[in-house]
Structure 1
Amino acid sequence: MKKILSFGILLLSINFYSQELTCADFKVGNFVVKMDSEKNPYKLIRYENYQIEIVNKSTNENIKYTNNLEWIDECTYRLKYDEIKMTLNAFQKSINENGVLVKMKKIKGKYLYFDSFLSYEGKKIKLSGKMYKE
């Protein structure tokens, strides 16, 4: 009986101390992002108010994008390309007019699922994906 009681207390204590992830856990750090519409994942290095996306375009080439983040609430932010740290193409300039609104939807296990919303050439586009901390 003592063993069963001790085991029960151990299980309860593990439940009380197990960490549940929140949106705050995805504000700073190194992440891997997988967009539903893309084949390959990419790396993300995120600081409080900006991030660097590292996209592998070929076996020998990585492309880096620097984005500024404006946090709207704990789980929502607006992303814009950093025109000081990089030269923007026409698409990126167009995106920067309104930015990309990112809403963190849910956290399941180690994954954060999100939706991104942007306007381009008069069309509203929704992109979904997931990310996890490295």
Structure 2
Amino acid sequence: MAKYTIVENDSISEFSPERDKTVKKYIVIREKGTQIEWKNGIGNGNPEYEIIEWIDNCTYRLTYDSSKSELDEGKKWVNDNNGIVVSKTKIENKCLYYTATMTTNDGQKISQDGIICKE
């Protein structure tokens, strides 16, 4: 289950959204500066198209590509707040550990630790 840490002014809180139990896995395909995410396998439903902007060898900014699909309000909000900065924290075997952070225009920092593995 995803857990987000929210830092705002001098307070820290945690938030765990309800998990969509229909999603068993995500398939992520990267090519150069783009990423496509599929829920439960390639060809199932509508993919999410994302743009990757590398900041350095271990950090990139992720935004949603509005030229490839209609963005819902949540994706527009992410883009309007300068996207999500993903920092690699370690690589172990076939897995990448990361911290994803979004700093909103009003100064709120929302972060999540995660792991993504190659099959």
TM-score norm. by structure 2 comes to 0.71
Q: State whether structure 2 residue 78 is matched by structure 1 residue 95.
A: yes
Distance 1:61 1:44 in 2: 13
CA positional deviation for 1:121: 8.6
Q: Flag as ranges the 4+ runs of structure 1 deviating above 6 A.
A: none
Instruction: Choose from 90, 96, 116 the match for 2:100.
Output: 116
Deviations 1:57-115 (A, max 9, x none): xxx95331000000001110000000000101111111002101000100112111011
CA positional deviation for 1:51: 0.5
Report the count of equivalent residues.
97
Q: State whether structure 2 residue 118 is matched by structure 1 residue 133.
A: yes
SS across alignment from 1:92: helix
- 1:109 to 1:61, Cα distance in 2 relative to 1, 3 A: closer
CA positional deviation for 1:119: 4.2
Structure 2: gaps of 5 or more residues: 3-18
Structure 1: gaps of 5 or more residues: 1-35
TM-score norm. by structure 1 comes to 0.63
Query: Which structure has the bigger radius of gyration?
Result: 1
Q: Letter of the 2:110 partner, please give it.
A: I
Equivalent residues of 2:61, 2:84 under 8 A apart: yes
SS across alignment from 1:62: coil
Greater helix fraction, Structure 1 or Structure 2 = 1
Could you say which residue in structure 2 is the equivalent of 1:52? 36
Could you say which residue in structure 1 is the equivalent of 2:54? 71
